[in-house]
Amino acid sequence: MSTYYAAFTVFNLSEHACSIGGYPKLYALGIDRRPVQGPASHGTGAAEGSDEPLNIPGRGSAFFNVSWPADIATQSKCGSRIVAGYRVVLPGSDLAQTVPYPNFEHCHGHDYAGALHVGVIQPSPEPVGLHLTPPPLEQARPAVGMPPCRPSDLVVWQGIGHPGGAGLGRSYAHLEVTNLARRSCRLSGIPRMVAVDLRGRPIGPPVARQDSLPIATHRRRVRVARLRSHESAVFTYSVGEVLNYGNHGCEYEYAAGFDVTLPGSSHPQYVPAPVRRCLRSVAPNGPQVSVGPIE
């Protein structure tokens, strides 16, 4: 039996410092995005601090850990199932946030009813000046003859190990699209993205869609991605720094993330990704936020 850990960031979208402490309420969500386990028990077994309130500066962050049991070698003994993400309610809040984070060997059943754990909210560690190198990815393969992906089988999330980049006043980041189904499928096109606040209300004009954006994954561009079971494709989005447009060129707010509608789908998926979003168009300087094709 193995225990898996993940760290979740709590970002203060406000310009003002605030106080928060204790344990979030957390549930694991299945493929249909309904709770399959939880509420999580307190304490993950990892080193944790006090549950006393801590101060988060404006535009600052804290974090908490989540742990769950998984047994890849003996899945039949632990009733392994797919988890698409988590529903989180922070201490003192009545707002439930959905955090996509797929995992495929999550033990469940009567013997594991209390095996999902959440840690106390802690101060973020000091940043370490490490140079991240994008990991090598498997070369995408032709998807001729494969069925199109069903939107209900796909989850959009921030992924792991896809560092972004920056240049000429723009930053570049990636979102991952993971196939939760047992069948292989094909996916292509440009997602539709809308920056939103914590209540799902749009912030700023629609995100521009572009046929091409720089990528940092060091692989050949593929216009039709082939996704085997539990494999992923990626797409890039870019954000222009608000200071590019001068003091009067970009009145902005911090968005909590994006509603992402994949090609062929009519239902958006929320992905937490705090970003400074211009409230109005910044033309003729070009779009402030752009998204490129799935590859």
Q: Is the pLDDT of residue 245 over 90?
A: no
Of the ranges 68-77, 130-139, 206-215, which is most confident?
A: 206-215
Rounded to an integer, the average pLDDT of 125-136 is 48
One-letter amino acid of 259: D
SS3 state at 237: strand
* pLDDT 10s digits, 186-231: 999 999 999 999 999 999 988 999 887 766 555 556 678 889 999 9
- Residue 161: pLDDT band (50, 70, 90) is low
Q: Is the pLDDT of residue 62 over 80?
A: yes
Distance of CA 264 to the CA centre of its chain: 20
Question: In whole angstroms, what is the distance from residue 111 CA to residue 242 CA?
Answer: 51
CATH architecture observed for domain 2-123: Sandwich (2.60)
Rounded to an integer, the average pLDDT of 280-284 is 79
- Other CB atoms within 10 A of residue 133 CB: 10
Top pLDDT among 98 and 250 is at: 98
pLDDT on residue 194: 96
Rg of the chain over CA atoms, in angstroms? 20
Domain 151-291 is found in CATH 1.10.3470? no
- Other CB atoms within 10 A of residue 228 CB: 15
- Residue 149: pLDDT band (50, 70, 90) is very high
Distance of CA 228 to the CA centre of its chain: 21
DSSP symbols for 239-293: EE-GGGG-TTT--EEEEEEEEEE-TT-SS-EEEEEEEEEESS--TTS--SEEE--
Query: Dihedral (C-alpha) 284, 200, 185, 159: value to the nearest 10 degrees?
Result: 80
Q: Which segments of the chain belong to CATH 2.60.40?
A: 2-123, 151-291
* pLDDT 10s digits, 30-59: 998 899 999 999 998 888 888 899 999 999
- Residue 119: pLDDT band (50, 70, 90) is very high
